[in-house]
């Protein structure tokens, strides 16, 4: 992914997480900004320092996603074809903002995803079954 000059308004989008949770907000970033934050900036050879920590993929409706998955948490961001932020979802053993089941937002449509292709950022694409939090 090349560096892009994109003007991005800073705003907080409400996330939903259930009746027992407070309001969770998220500052959206572009695809490239999220990738740089999670995997590190691209090196001269195009690789990234933390590429194995990031999964990239595509949903059946055309959305792209970046997922940061670990043993205890899953953090996913969804983007349109122009790589603009659409929504995100979080789930895990770590309770954030009082949300024991994680969070998603700004809408269910933004985070619905039937995964059709995915791969580690530094690996080969696969069509093996792959689940994302709050994607159903």
The one-character DSSP state at 98 is: T
Q: In angstroms, rounded to a whole number, what is the distance separating the alpha carbons of residues 84 and 17?
A: 23
pLDDT digits (tens, 9 = 90+) for 29-71: 899 999 998 888 888 988 888 877 788 999 999 999 999 877 7
Say which residue, 123 or 49, is predicted with more confidence: 49
Q: In angstroms, rounded to a whole number, what is the distance separating the alpha carbons of residues 20 and 100?
A: 9
pTM: 0.73
Whole-number pLDDT of residue 25: 58
Say which residue, 136 or 112, is predicted with more confidence: 112
Is it the case that residue 7 has pLDDT exceeding 60? no
Q: In angstroms, rounded to a whole number, what is the distance separating the alpha carbons of residues 56 and 78?
A: 10
Look-up of token digits 């934050």: 37
């Amino acid at each position: 992914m090349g560096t892009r000059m994109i003007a991005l308004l800073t705003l907080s989008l409400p996330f939903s997480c259930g009746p027992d949770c407070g309001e969770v907000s998220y500052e959206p970033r572009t695809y490239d900004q999220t990738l740089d934050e999670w995997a590190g900036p691209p090196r001269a050879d195009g690789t990234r320092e933390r590429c194995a920590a990031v999964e990239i993929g595509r949903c059946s409706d055309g959305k792209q996603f970046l997922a940061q998955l670990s043993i205890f948490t899953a953090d996913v961001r969804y983007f349109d074809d122009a790589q603009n932020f659409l929504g995100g979802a979080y789930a895990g053993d770590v309770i954030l903002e009082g949300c024991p089941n994680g969070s998603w937002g700004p809408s269910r449509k933004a985070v619905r995803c039937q995964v059709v292709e995915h791969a580690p950022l530094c690996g080969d694409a696969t069509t093996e079954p792959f689940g994302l939090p709050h994607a159903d």
